[in-house]
Homo-oligomer: A and B are copies of this chain.
Amino acid sequence: MIRIIIAEDQSLLRGALASLLSLEDDIEVVAQASDGAEALTLVEQHTPDVLLTDIEMPHASGIDVARKLKESQSPTKVMIVTTFARPGYLERARSAGVLGYVLKDAPSESLADSLRKVASGQLVIERGLAEAAWASPDPLSDREREILRLAEQGQSNKKIAQQLYLSAGTVRNYLAEATQKLGASNRIEAARIARENGWL
């Protein structure tokens, strides 16, 4: 019997997945979480075989949860289910010790199979994704990422500088580097490209 916990913020999908997987004879859904923090607590309480989790959730992302579980050497394996085929996400998931990475685009029939593979310790990566990650590694430094995130909100150089205790000129320089690295022609395009690749 494979004991799992499902973490997903959209109740509708969470409930539907739980019902669907409960129909399998060898799978038992022992708990459900609607955000990252709750997922972590529940995993610590129940130590299930697998945590099936979304990435983008309130409080802590699925990747954050995976990282913490890895740090605490939890035996629970982590499988990510997400909307986004972003290279950056996959890369971060891998380094957080995640075993499975499947898309919400995948057929629902294959989910249980993937889950069984992950439970047995196998690596399951959505086909096509691995190459994408290899082809485009994250070019941004932490500072650039941080500043780009603020610029994306529409904040001016001055405001960003204040928040990070930098000078406005330095902020300009970082943004210039970032836009150049990303092949963009201004901060807006740079932010868009970075976000589409999961680097923000």
Contact B107 A153 (CB under 8 A): no
Contact A154 B190 (CB under 8 A): yes
Chain B residues, CB < 8 A from A151: 188
Given contacts A153-B189, A154-B185, 13 further A-B pairs with CB under 8 A are: A11-B104, A12-B103, A12-B104, A12-B106, A12-B108, A13-B13, A13-B16, A15-B20, A15-B107, A152-B188, A153-B188, A154-B187, A154-B189
On chain A, the number of residues with a Cβ less than 8 Å from chain B's Cβ atoms is 37
Contact A12 B185 (CB under 8 A): no
Chain B residues, CB < 8 A from A186: 154, 156
CB proximity of A67 to chain B, nearest CB, Å: 24
Contact B106 A11 (CB under 8 A): yes
Chain B residues, CB < 8 A from A154: 184-192
The answer to whether the Cβ of A200 comes within 8 Å of any Cβ in the partner chain is no
